[in-house]
Amino acid sequence: MSRHTSLPAASLFAATLCAAATTNAQTLTVSSWVPPTHFIHTDFLVPFAAEVAAVTEGRVTLNILPAPLGGPAQHWELARNGIADITWGNFTYEPERFVAMWFAEFPNAGTHAEAQSRALWRTYETYMADNPAFAGVKMLGVGLFGGGQLHHGTKPITTPADIANQTFRMGGPIQERMLTALGAVPVAAPATRAYEMLESGVIDGSLHSIESVMNFRLEGVLKHHTVFPKGFYDATFFVAMNAARWNRLSEQDRTAIEGIIGETLSAAWGRSFDIQAPRAVAKLAEAGNSFAEPSQELISAVDAIYAQMVEDWIIAAQRAGVADPEAVLDFYQSTYTQLAAQ
């Protein structure tokens, strides 16, 4: 074949390869309910999207939508039903479905978010992956945020007397039970509504991780922060993909993506919170906000509530299909302790 006759053939071959690559390309929609300036978007979702594209050599890309397809509490169902391909959200917002996860939201769950998140992933894989509550999605990662704390608009909270009769925004049944047991008045609402509720006087304080106070711009309305050494409570999160959509990816791409999800993605989730927390403390201090430690009386009251919560959760978890809840809790705690010490 002459040089002149081979060029059209080569061009045709290249065009065929490009067409095949285009045909095989997959774009996955991601629904996220925080603004694009939030660090979960900039420091977690965007790098994850870049990694997916890299490991699949561009065959799979993520399109993070400019606006969420539903409210925060709807994001599990958005993924399960395939309305979005990938979502992230808070297990806390569907407490009855995710009874198995309650243990990680109790007081004293820890303050090292990366270690927590890795421990929770290992616990999920070991004890929960086959639980019907998690059916319909491919779990990409799980996480915690390094300990939620008490925040108040007008005064420090250090004793049980300080918290009595105060109204606090909270996000789930674990937090509700703790506040009620301490004599406070809980008001259920997502973190995104905290500012307007504080400004209008509907609540006196709100439960958040330290970073959340800064990232939801609450430093001007939540000026007093009570920091429990092991966390006052926590919140469990998921990153999930519609199971059917996952299965439609090629085996090659599923294998490639498996290498960057699971414990790896869970660790990245926790690490982003560990980076944010000290930054938030510094900024809050610069803004003149106060930090206090709880009195031993308040810590003892929280510990007593925790003990009863564990006892009640064991019964509820067994009813929800968890064969050995005590083993689950022991596994998580020992794994967290080991990882946090590294």
Instruction: Tell me the C-alpha distance between 158 and 277, whole Å.
Output: 21
pLDDT at 191: 83
Determine, yes or no, domain membership for 6. Answer: no
Instruction: Tell me the C-alpha distance between 220 and 9, whole Å.
Output: 68
Determine, yes or no, domain membership for 82. Answer: yes
* Structure tokens belonging to residue 140: 């990409």
Q: With 70 as the cut, is the pLDDT of residue 192 above it?
A: yes
Residues 39 and 130 in one domain: yes
Q: Report which secondary-structure segment, H or E, holds 138.
A: strand 137-143
Q: Of 191 and 126, which is predicted with more confidence?
A: 126
Residues 84 and 172 in one domain: no
For 310-320, what is each residue's pLDDT tens digit? 999 999 999 99
Residues 94 and 226 in one domain: no
Residues 197 and 64 in one domain: no
Tell me phi and psi for residue 97, to 5 degrees.
Answer: -70, -40
Q: With 70 as the cut, is the pLDDT of residue 16 above it?
A: no
pLDDT at 155: 96
Instruction: Tell me the C-alpha distance between 209 and 277, whole Å.
Output: 8
pLDDT at 46: 98
Residues 263 and 281 in one domain: no
Q: Is 340 helix (H, G, I), strand (E, B) or coil?
A: helix
Give the residue numbers spanning the domain of 264. Answer: 15-102+114-144+236-269
Q: With 90 as the cut, is the pLDDT of residue 154 above it?
A: yes
Q: Report which secondary-structure segment, H or E, holds 120.
A: helix 113-123
Determine, yes or no, domain membership for 5. Answer: no
Instruction: Tell me the C-alpha distance between 224 and 213, whole Å.
Output: 11
pLDDT at 215: 84
Instruction: Tell me the C-alpha distance between 325 and 304, whole Å.
Output: 19
Sorted by sequence, the CB contacts under 8 Å of residue 264 that are 6+ apart come out as 141
* Listed residue (80, 102, 84, 83) closest to 29, CA to CA: 84
Residues 173 and 40 in one domain: no
* Listed residue (133, 91, 83) closest to 237, CA to CA: 91
Q: Is 203 helix (H, G, I), strand (E, B) or coil?
A: coil
Sorted by sequence, the CB contacts under 8 Å of residue 169 that are 6+ apart come out as 187, 188, 189, 191, 193, 194, 197, 198, 203, 205, 206, 207
Residues 125 and 41 in one domain: yes
Q: For residue 1, with 0-12 CB atoms within 10 Å meaning exposed, 13-18 middle and 19 or more buried, which class applies?
A: exposed
For 37-62, what is each residue's pLDDT tens digit? 999 999 999 999 999 999 999 999 99
Residues 83 and 215 in one domain: no
For 279-302, what is each residue's pLDDT tens digit? 999 999 999 999 999 999 999 999
Determine, yes or no, domain membership for 77. Answer: yes
How many domains are there within the chain?
Answer: 2
End-of-domain residue from the set 249, 269, 289:
269
Residues 138 and 46 in one domain: yes
For 126-144, what is each residue's pLDDT tens digit? 999 999 999 999 999 999 9
Neighbouring-strand partners of residue 148:
209, 233
Residues 229 and 240 in one domain: no
Determine, yes or no, domain membership for 1. Answer: no
Q: Which residues of 294-303 are buried (b: 16+ CB within 10 A; e: fewer)?
A: bbeebbebbe
Is the pTM higher than 0.75?
yes
Work out the end-to-end distance of the chain between its first and last CA atoms, rounded to an integer number of angstroms. 65
Determine, yes or no, domain membership for 3. Answer: no
Q: Is 146 helix (H, G, I), strand (E, B) or coil?
A: coil
Instruction: Tell me the C-alpha distance between 34 and 64, whole Å.
Output: 11
Determine, yes or no, domain membership for 54. Answer: yes
- Average pLDDT of 166-171? 95
Residues 38 and 88 in one domain: yes
- Average pLDDT of 21-35? 84
Determine, yes or no, domain membership for 107. Answer: no
The DSSP call for residue 294 is P
CATH code, domain carrying 304: 3.40.190.170
Q: Is 50 helix (H, G, I), strand (E, B) or coil?
A: helix
Residues 305 and 193 in one domain: yes
